[in-house]
Amino acid sequence: MISCINGATTMPYTLEQDLEAAAKAGFEAVEIWSRKLDTYLEANSVDDLKVMLDRLELKVASLCPYSLVGFADNRGHIIAIRKASEIAEAIDCPVLLVCGDAPPEGVSEDEAYDSMANVACTYADWAEDHGVKIAIEPLGGHPFIPGPKEALEIIERADHDSLGLMLDTFHYYKSGVSMDAIRDIPLDRLFIVHVNDCEDLPAAELTDGHRLHMGEGILPLKEVLGIIKEKGYEGALSVEIFREAYWNQDPEDISRDAKAGLDRTLALL
């Protein structure tokens, strides 16, 4: 499995600072936060980014996050996916990570799944043209896509080889996703894994701000990572933590601590 860090973990900092800190901490890959990417490209080119990644010997696991909009005007979001697919191809990034919206009242579950599947298929068509895949992110407590079961229903209805999902240890815990449900995720549809820990609070009270470095909270990380290791997952394990106390630190310190937590956890497997 590939060690990776998400740009949210060092949120206040620039893309350049993210990449330099990740490389110094010993990460093999990064997930590039889309807003930071947009800011970077205001003054730099995609070729400049590729040169920097090569210099630092970093892979890009995903560009994220983007919106999977099935129940509102999505024209702007589709344009964003087209642009991101082109950039991803140029920097050898295999995945765009998307988060879905929820249907309005009065839409049946069956209609909602079909609508989202149609949009997901459109996204995947654009991405596939550039050798890129789309990973749907279930969100903790989300009204429509809280876990892998719902994401897989969309993927099955879309019937597109370039569609898959991601696993996030925090979101799956908050949504009460069982270990059996994780075991049931088809390996060929598991495109990326987010790893983190969190405080000991009732799931309903947890927010992204309660995330912690791995090994400092109560998530069953050894069990979850043991399952995906047994499944034969060889992709990125990306540390994604939204915590203001960490953000106030130097990006190199944040990245170093994130890598240490990941290493300690993997040593338990």
15-44 pLDDT, tens digit per residue, is 999 999 999 999 999 999 999 999 999 999
How far is residue 236's CA from residue 149's CA, in Å, rounded to a whole number? 21
Cα distances (Å, whole numbers) of residue 220 to 23, 137, 162, 179, 224: 28, 20, 30, 10, 6
Cα distances (Å, whole numbers) of residue 210 to 173, 195, 245: 13, 14, 10
Long-range contacts of 39-45 (CB under 8 A, 24+ apart): 39/14, 39/15, 40/14, 40/15, 40/16, 41/87
pTM of the predicted protein model:
0.97
The confidence band for 133, taking pLDDT boundaries of 50, 70 and 90, is very high
Q: What is the pLDDT of residues 150-172, one digit of tens each?
A: 999 999 999 999 999 999 999 99
The confidence band for 175, taking pLDDT boundaries of 50, 70 and 90, is very high
Contact 30, 57 (CB under 8 A): no
**Distance between start and end Cα atoms, the chain:** 12
Strands 163-168 and 95-100: unpaired
What is the pLDDT, as a whole number, of residue 84? 98
Q: Which two tokens stand for residue 197?
A: 């820990």
Domain housing 62: 2-266
- The domain tally of the chain equals 1
CATH number of 193's domain: 3.20.20.150
Q: What is the pLDDT of residues 214-244, one digit of tens each?
A: 999 999 999 999 999 999 999 999 999 999 9
Q: Where are the beta strands (DSSP E) in the chain?
A: 2-6, 29-33, 59-68, 95-100, 133-136, 163-168, 190-195, 197-198, 211-212, 236-239
The confidence band for 181, taking pLDDT boundaries of 50, 70 and 90, is very high
pLDDT above 70 as % of the chain: 100
